[in-house]
Structure 1
Amino acid sequence: MEMARMLLLLLCGLASVIVAKSDSSVSCEDLGFTGLALCSDCDALAEIVKDAELESDCRKCCAQELQDSISKKTYSGAILEVCMRKLVFYRNVEAFIEKSLAQFPLVDVNYRFGSSPKLIMKDERGNEKESIRIDNWKTEHIEQFLKEKVRPKAT
């Protein structure tokens, strides 16, 4: 009888841990949604994957396509963060650093161990505002994005 009571207490404890874990907020990056994912991207994902839970997670992390909020938003600078050891696997990012980075005086490179390539966009105070994964971006897309999103340096 005592053994059954202890087993019941143990199971109740495990159940409360599982419930607490499922209720805790998980960041979008932990869920695999990083960058400026648009809600229309979630529509495409749902069509291809056909997984309601995955679509729900996507919708929690997406940004509505508002002309003013996304297309016109600019930043005061950026950090290109990447792992130096992984850089050889991202030829377009490597090419951008070697050939184009000099054109962007407000963009710094931060080599961080284990980091996948991403742009960290900064506001006028230098605070990090957005993090955008660029794993599969072509060099010209990185250049175009930075030309559109990083305000020119004040002279």
Structure 2
Amino acid sequence: MQKLVLFTLVAITCQQTHAEFTAADCRELGFIKAQLMCSSCDKLDDFGLETLKTPCKQCCTLDQQPAAQRTYAKAILEVCTCKFRAYPQIQAFIQSGRPAKFPNLQIKYVRGLDPVVKLLDDAGKVQETLSITKWNTDTVEEFFETHLAKDGKGKSSYSVVEEAVDDDDDDDYLLTNKV
């Protein structure tokens, strides 16, 4: 019986030593558990922050695959044109010739929505949804170059989905958000 109790105490101690911190614990330490990749913790030595490495490792998420290797068959950039003033970098990307470089990119205008990118697999199922509110024009383009399949897996072509507008003579892009 004594051996069982001793074994249990040792097991609990070992488990606590190797246990990861909860999201709340990590937040108190200044880490965002959901966004912290373990490869980032390895770089702390370069900046003389070795003391942060242990808690960092307990708060990090294992790097599953390098970001450059994850590709998607299709992407949908959803945004409301009424938000273009708040996100001029997204407006600049959309109104430039850059989207035409990506045949498997669709731009969809959704009333009241902050800019997001939906990444889809071959079957058209959404795999990830990312907020791109803080991205600049070059970052958006680089992201699509890195994460969209280049071999034509997406089968669809670049398109813009807008709401129907009665007056086709006016080229004002804000008409898509008329009430």
Would you call these one fold, judging by a TM-score over 0.5?
yes
Q: Which residues of 2 match residues 34-113 of structure 1 at below 5 A?
A: 38-40=35-37, 64-68=61-65, 70-99=67-96, 100-113=98-111
TM-score, length basis structure 1: 0.57
Q: Percent identity?
A: 29
Rg (Cα) greater in structure: 2
CA distance in 2, matches of 1:65, 1:93: 31
Code of the aligned partner of 1:87:
F
Alignment check: 8 A CA contact 2:75 2:104 kept: yes
Q: Which residues of 2 match residues 12-23 of structure 1 at below 5 A?
A: none
Q: Gaps spanning 5+ residues in structure 1: where?
A: 1-36, 44-58
Aligned length: 100
- Are the structure 2 counterparts of residues 109 and 40 from structure 1 closer, same or farther at C-alpha, using a change threshold of 3 Å? same
Alignment check: 8 A CA contact 1:38 1:65 kept: no
The Cα shift of 1:64 comes to 2.5
The Cα shift of 1:154 comes to 2.3
TM-score, length basis structure 2: 0.50
CA offsets 1:8-59 (integer angstroms, 9 cap, x no match):
xxxxxxxxxxxxxxxxxxxxxxxxxxxxx62249x9xxxxxxxxxxxxxxx7
The structure whose residues are more often helix, as a share, is: 1
Flag as ranges the 4+ runs of structure 1 deviating above 4 A: none
CA distance in 2, matches of 1:75, 1:151: 6
Counterpart for residue 15 of structure 2: none
Counterpart for residue 131 of structure 1: 129
Q: Gaps spanning 5+ residues in structure 2: where?
A: 1-33, 41-58, 154-179
